[in-house]
Chain A
Amino acid sequence: MKPTGLIFFPAFDWAISPTHPEREERLLYTRDQIFEEGIMDLPQIKEYTPKLAEARDIARVHFCVPDVAAQVTEAHLISAGSTLVIADSLLQGEIRNGFALVRPPGHHSMLVSHGNRGFCNINNEAIMVEYLRQKYGIKKLAIIDTDVHHGDGTQNIYWHDPDVLFISFHQDGRTLYPGTGYMEELGGPLAYGTTINIPLPPRTTDTGIHYVLDNLVMPILEEFKPELLVNSAGQDNHYSDPLADMRFSAQGYARLNERLAPDIAVLEGGYSVETALPYVNMGIIMAMAGINYSNLREPDYDPTRFKEQNLETIKKIVNRQLDTFKNREETIHKNRSRGQEFETVYKNIFYDTDYISEDQTERLRLCQKCGGFRVILSSAQHRSARYYEVYCISVPAFCCDDCHQQAIDMYQQMCRQGKYDYVYLQDRIKDEYKSFDPRQEVEIVL
């Protein structure tokens, strides 16, 4: 059997700040545990070396304001680049599955990036997904976000994409950052039902999470039939996590990955650096590599300690979301028949780490043939005190000729208008990423 690919990149020389949870020490004990276990020496594991992602890999997903260099450090490029190494190894048939055990994380980063939100600047999973689509022509993918926080960044990026199924289960947004991920968030008008949120009550245990997995996630996956499955693998559902309030265990995480069987797992959050991460990471690696994990547990683990109190609530959530998913095509059909050319939504996005408040006007073309392209007018004052107003046009990887042509025309028109600080065209059909600065009259093409 082929091995499980593993990139371990703890970024021992990168932190948001010395006492921030996202600091150098985060994967130190995980390093100690996996190295002491000698897991890299096992024939079931193949260790890979990270590489730097290129600016165009980032621009394929994000509108970085003003440019990619302003939003990413080398650590971000390595973290994102690692997911690409794993993706290549998988698609080239070297490995059965792979785990990018890397930091910094990315699932709170949205389509437009003005700064750091929820410890994230760029979205590692989305960068990998768009790379896979571009390089290997994969169309349908599923991302299961198992982090305790709602994966609002990934949700935002794939909100209008009917070919990317995004399922996030997390601690209820009324009790935890980022305060979103409610059942009603189900995707845009033409991609309704391929965004599924499962807000779980605080203190949900292994029993509760596995109920969701068995009765909601697995049936949906079976129906959606993705070509490739990604686990956006946060580890902060753990009972010892200092930032959240759930009751998941290392055994629970291992079993989740065995059952879900993701093709690729990418580390997200998890800040119980000493009492959870070493064991949860071991559990994920062992489960993915098909190694018996029954002897793995946290030093203070007691299987009888937590009783599931909220199973009835969870069952209700599961049944409701299952119905929504089943009726999604009907809803999409209805939305499409409204005969409207564009749908417009206004929103405000807050960047907690960088304290930035962004205003967006998002317009989606309600296309009759495809998922439509979207346009975002975004404005925010950066930490540098500079205020940016940018115009972003995003052409999805699988989009009809009409939408593609309209998007290109719109870009040229906006460049001529000269009203915005920057005009961006993200053309995933041509794999070409343009940005135009009307004042300098400079166009950069990645």
Chain B
Amino acid sequence: MLIGIDVGGTFTDGVVLDKGRIITFAKEATDEQELSATLLKVLDRLLSDLNSDAIARIVLSTTLVTNLIVTDRGPRTALLLMPGFGLPQTAYDLAPDTYFLKGCIDFRGNEVAPPDTQEILAVINKIKEQGIKNVAIAGKFSNRSQKHELLVKTMLEENYPEASVVISFQIAQQLNFPRRAFTAYLTARTRARWNQFIDDMQEAMKERHINAPVHILKADGGTMLLETAREHPCETIFSGPAASTVGGLALTINDRMNSVVLDVGGTTTDISLIIEGKPLHASQGAKINGKLTHIRSLAVKSIALGGDSVVCNNAGLLKIGPEREGAAACFGGQQATITDAFNYLYELQIGDLSLSAEKMNRISAELDTPVMDLCREVVDKTMGRLQETITGMFKEWEQEPAYRVWEIVNRRAFRLDRIIGIGAAATVIVPRLAEELNIDYLVHQYSPVANALGSSAARPTLAVNMHADTQADLFTIDPGGIQGNLGKVRNLQLEDIKEITRRYLQDIAAERGLGEYADEAQFTREEQFNVLSGWDRMGKLFDVGMQIDPGLINEFKGVDEI
């Protein structure tokens, strides 16, 4: 049996999945201050008539780190930057306690300018004086040489052993220094609180005699073991939308269609794309408070429109959302909502139709508009905004930058096959929207809990990237920030680098308890360039990426139809 728990902003949902059926379901209001307690309350309800030995796996999706980051909470954290030559220092508006250090590395990992140890000492003392205990270190091109970051780390350990240090090359090795620096900073800032949560969970599992592996859902729609997650708090952000996307996938297992997943909640609607059966990732990393990171995430757009968005008379004009004031009128709420407008217009018999009618009629009188016209306007505007967002997402996908001739020549237009509706209010909006777009739709009996279902069935993911430079005799591997020498192997070929990457992926997968998926990893990037000097080849540069894509675990074979 599989357990999935999704902590959302308003509610926390949990399911127990047994073969294709949800046998237990639990829902609790989320207490933002006591996330662990909420989570465990749901877990205990799920466990109430279950033998803990029968549990194969538990997956948690939590808003803990997202909330810390979005609300800018956490201990004071220093960001030590070594940007070297290039953009001016004013370009790095990443964190309040930012310190700049000398030292410069180039794209081949060569030292262009050395760090200044006196300066580093002075900064360490300043941080110490201010009582800042969390430190992130980030250097431009540290993904090509870790030398300078390591020097600062060693000096911190020697001179300020109480400090907790994060170095950026261990967080991410892709190009983009500001994103790497910001991700390292967020990691340093949330790590202690996150580890407290993991301790709590591990303790709680022990108390409940649960031996099944416990995973955390990540922004990319995959999972990782709790223990692995200790060093990667930021990867758990935006797991809510990821849970719904994987939920959409779980409801339509094994088909290769192009779908849009519409998670229609009370206040917001999350929209994501599944292209040929695979969730679409954001081409850039996740964006937090307007700043980009290196956190791989799904391409999800949220709009402030949900089933409970209030419809009202705003000084003689119709206003739709963004507020939510409790349930829809048809369920006894005080205000007319989008759900009520759909309900009345299409006679959907949701809740008590007469209550929808009553509230809509009142606004109709106030605005002096026939009630059906009013409902029609609410429906058109809602669907208009959804359509606009969906079309915008296709466009973005079609317009993603490309750097190779074949990518431009083989560019495809996106053709949408179907809408997958999930979330409580999906039944209201999705069928109408599908009709408007003239495509199929799916709203399943499990749609209201598809997020928790998605969590329970999500498979672990892992992306490994290797960069090798045979002339400079160095290689780097992400994750883990492994850097080393190739050992003067003159004749390395792309196939060799791919093999090394594959082996690393297998090792890391085994270490992280996801060995059974290692064989399904695919190469996502294969680049090789000759390094020439004059007309002689001096070496080769390789970039190879390999990953286990998000998807569903092998035990999960789909949900029962009804």
Q: At the interface, yes or no: A12 with Cβ under 8 Å from chain B?
A: yes
Contact B87 A39 (CB under 8 A): yes
Interface residues of A in 37-56 (CB under 8 A from B): 37-42, 47, 49-52
Q: Which of B59-67, B171-179, B198-206 contacts A (4 or more CB under 8 A)?
A: B171-179
The distance in angstroms between the C-alpha atoms of A157 and B532, with both chains bound, is 34
Residue pair A295, B85 in contact (C-beta under 8 Å): yes
Mask: chain B, 394-422; 1 = CB below 8 Å from A; 0 = not: 00000111111110110000000000000
B88 at the interface (CB under 8 A from A): yes
**A295 close to B106 (CB less than 8 A):** no
- Residues in chain B near residue A39, CB distance under 8 A: 87
A8 proximal to B (CB < 8 A): yes
Q: Tell me, rounded to whole Å, the shortest Cβ–Cβ distance linking A305 to chain B.
A: 16
B87's nearest neighbour on chain A, judged by CB, is: A37
A-B contact count (CB 8 A): 111
Contact: B405 with A74, CB < 8 Å?
Answer: yes
In A1-53, the 8 Å CB interface with B consists of: 8-14, 18-19, 23-25, 28-29, 31-33, 35-42, 47, 49-52
Tell yes or no: B534 within 8 A of A by CB.
yes
Contact of A12 among B106, B141, B178, B404 (CB under 8 A): B404
Return the CB mask of B102-130 against A: 1 if under 8 Å, else 0. 00101110101000000000000000000
| A75 interfacial contact with B, CB 8 Å | yes
**CA of A201 to CA of B222, assembled, Å:** 62
Q: Are B107 and A36 in contact (CB under 8 A)?
A: yes
Interface centre among A18, A41, A73 (most CB of B within 10 A): A41
Given the known interface contacts A36-B140, A37-B177, A278-B107, the answer about A51 and B90 at a Cβ–Cβ threshold of 8 Å is: no
Question: Binary interface profile of A, 385-398, with partner B (CB < 8 Å = 1, else 0)?
Answer: 00000000000000
Least CB distance from A129 to B in Å reads 23
Contact A49 B400 (CB under 8 A): yes
Closest to B106 in A: A299
Q: Which residue of A lies closest to B399 (CB)?
A: A49
CA distance A297 to B84 in the complex (A): 10
B531 touches A25 (CB 8 A): yes
Q: Indicate whether B70 reaches chain A with its CB closer than 8 angstroms.
A: no
- A175-183, A286-294, A356-364 - the one binding chain B: A286-294
Residues of B with C-beta under 8 A to A278: 107
Judged by a CB distance under 8 angstroms, whether A282 is at the interface is yes
- Does residue A78 face the partner (Cβ distance < 8 Å to B)? yes
> Is A242 among interface residues, defined by CB-CB distance under 8 A?
yes
CA distance A23 to B89 in the complex (A): 34
Residue A274 at the B interface, CB < 8 A? yes
Interchain CB contact under 8 A, A32 and B107: yes
> Which B residues are CB-close (under 8 A) to A13?
404-406
Pair A8/B529 contact, Cβ less than 8 Å = no
In the bound complex, what is the Cα–Cα distance between A293 and B87 (angstroms)?
7
Given contacts A36-B141, A52-B409, contact A8 B403 (CB under 8 A): yes
A29 to B535, CA, bound (A): 18
Residue A296 at the B interface, CB < 8 A?
yes
Name the one of B90, B529, B532 contacting A19, with C-beta atoms under 8 angstroms: B532
Is there an interface contact between A36 and B175, defined as CB atoms closer than 8 Å? yes
Known: A13-B405, A36-B177. A291 touches B535 (CB 8 A): no
**Complex Cα spacing A276 to B47, Å:** 64
Which residue among B143, B178, B403, B537 has the maximum number of chain A CB atoms within 10 Å of its CB? Answer: B403
Contact call A291/B88, Cβ cutoff below 8 A: yes
**Cβ-defined contact, B405 with A78, below 8 A:** yes
Known interface pairs A12-B404, A49-B400, A274-B108; A37-B86 also in contact (CB < 8 Å): yes
B163 interface residue, CB < 8 Å from A? Answer: no
**What B residues does A73 contact at CB under 8 A?**
405
Interface centre among B86, B530, B531 (most CB of A within 10 A): B86
The answer to whether the Cβ of B91 comes within 8 Å of any Cβ in the partner chain is yes
B527 part of interface (Cβ distance < 8 Å): yes
Central interface residue in A73, A278, A295, by most chain B CB within 10 Å: A295
**Residues of B contacting A242 in the complex (Cβ-Cβ under 8 angstroms):** 534
Contact of A51 among B89, B401, B408 (CB under 8 A): B408
Query: In this assembly, does B257 line the interface, its C-beta being within 8 Å of a C-beta of chain A?
Result: no
B278 to chain A, nearest CB (A): 21
A residues in contact with B400, CB < 8 Å: 49
Find chain B residues with CB under 8 A from A9 CB.
Answer: 403
| B70, chain A: closest CB distance, angstroms | 19
Please name the residue on chain A nearest to B88 by beta carbon.
A292
Complex Cα distance, B531 from A31, in Å, reads: 15
**B106 adjacent to A11 (CB under 8 Å):** no
**Min CB gap A279→B, angstroms:** 8
A397 to B458, CA, bound (A): 61
Tell me the residues in window 288-321 of chain B with beta carbons closer than 8 Å to chain A beta carbons: 292
In the bound assembly, the distance between CA atoms of A36 and B399 in angstroms comes to: 22
Query: CB within 8 A of A25: which of B108, B401, B532, B534?
Result: B532
Could you say which of B106, B401, B529 contacts A28, with CB atoms under 8 Å apart? B529
Minimum C-beta distance from B534 to chain A (A): 7
> Which residues on the A side are within 8 Å of B91 (C-beta)?
42, 291
Is A31's CB under 8 angstroms from B532's CB? Answer: no
**CB atoms of B541 and A28 under 8 A apart:** yes
Specify which chain B residues have a CB less than 8 angstroms from the CB of A11 in the assembled complex: 403-405
A38–B177 touching, CB < 8 Å? yes
Q: Which residues of B contact A37 (CB under 8 A)?
A: 86-87, 140, 177-178
Residues of B within 8 A of A293 (CB): 88
CB-CB under 8 A from B108, the residues of chain A are: 29, 274
Q: Are B527 and A296 in contact (CB under 8 A)?
A: no
CA distance A25 to B533 in the complex (A): 12
State in angstroms the CA–CA spacing of A282 and B175 once bound together. Answer: 15
Given contacts A38-B178, A39-B87, A49-B399, contact A299 B110 (CB under 8 A): yes
In the assembled complex, how far is the CB of residue B83 from the closest CB belonging to chain A, in whole angstroms? 8
> Which A residues touch B401, using CB under 8 A?
8, 40, 47, 49
B529 close to A24 (CB less than 8 A): yes
B85 touches A297 (CB 8 A): yes
Say how far A38's CB is from chain B's closest CB, in angstroms: 4
Which residues in chain A, 100-126, are within 8 Å of chain B measured between CB atoms? Answer: none
Determine the chain B residues whose CB is within 8 A of the CB of A291 once the complex forms.
87-88, 91
Residues of A within 8 A of B541 (CB): 25, 28
- Judge whether B405 and A18 touch: CB under 8 Å: no
Docked-complex contact A294 and B88, CB < 8 angstroms: yes
Given contacts A38-B178, A286-B87, A296-B86, is CB(A29)–CB(B404) below 8 Å?
no
B532 & A12 in contact (Cβ 8 Å cutoff): no
Q: Specify which chain A residues have a CB less than 8 angstroms from the CB of B175 in the assembled complex.
A: 31-32, 35-36
For A52, what are the chain B residues with a Cβ–Cβ distance below 8 Å? 408-409
| Separation of A325 and B261 alpha carbons in the complex (Å) | 64
Select A49's contact among B292, B402, B535, beta carbons within 8 Å. Answer: B402
Kindly provide the distance from the CB of B82 to the nearest chain A CB, expressed in whole angstroms. 12
Closest to A286 in B: B87
Shortest Cβ distance from B86 into A: residue: A37
B531 with A50: CB separation less than 8 A: no
Bound: A297/B88 CA distance, A: 12
Q: For the complex, what is the distance from the CA of A39 to the CA of B401, rounded to whole Å?
A: 14
Binary contact readout A275-318 vs B (1 if CB under 8 angstroms, 0 otherwise): 00011001000100001111111010000000000000000000
- Return A76 CB to nearest CB of chain B, in Å: 10
With A36-B176, A36-B177, A49-B408 already in contact, 7 other A-B pairs whose C-beta atoms are closer than 8 Å? A33-B107, A36-B175, A37-B140, A52-B408, A74-B408, A291-B88, A299-B112
Chosen A-B contacts, 27 in total, with CB atoms closer than 8 Å, are A9-B403, A11-B403, A12-B529, A13-B405, A14-B405, A24-B530, A28-B529, A31-B403, A32-B107, A35-B175, A36-B141, A36-B143, A36-B177, A37-B87, A37-B140, A38-B179, A41-B179, A51-B408, A52-B408, A74-B405, A75-B405, A78-B405, A295-B89, A297-B85, A299-B85, A299-B104, A299-B106
Residues of B bordering A, CB below 8 Å: 85-91, 104, 106-108, 110, 112, 140-141, 143, 175-179, 284, 292, 399-406, 408-409, 527, 529-532, 534-535, 537, 541
Q: Give A residues with C-beta under 8 Å from B.
A: 8-14, 18-19, 23-25, 28-29, 31-33, 35-42, 47, 49-52, 73-75, 78, 242, 274, 278-279, 282, 286, 291-297, 299
Chain A to chain B: the 7 pairs with minimum beta-carbon distance, closest first: A32-B107, A35-B175, A38-B178, A299-B112, A292-B88, A25-B529, A36-B175
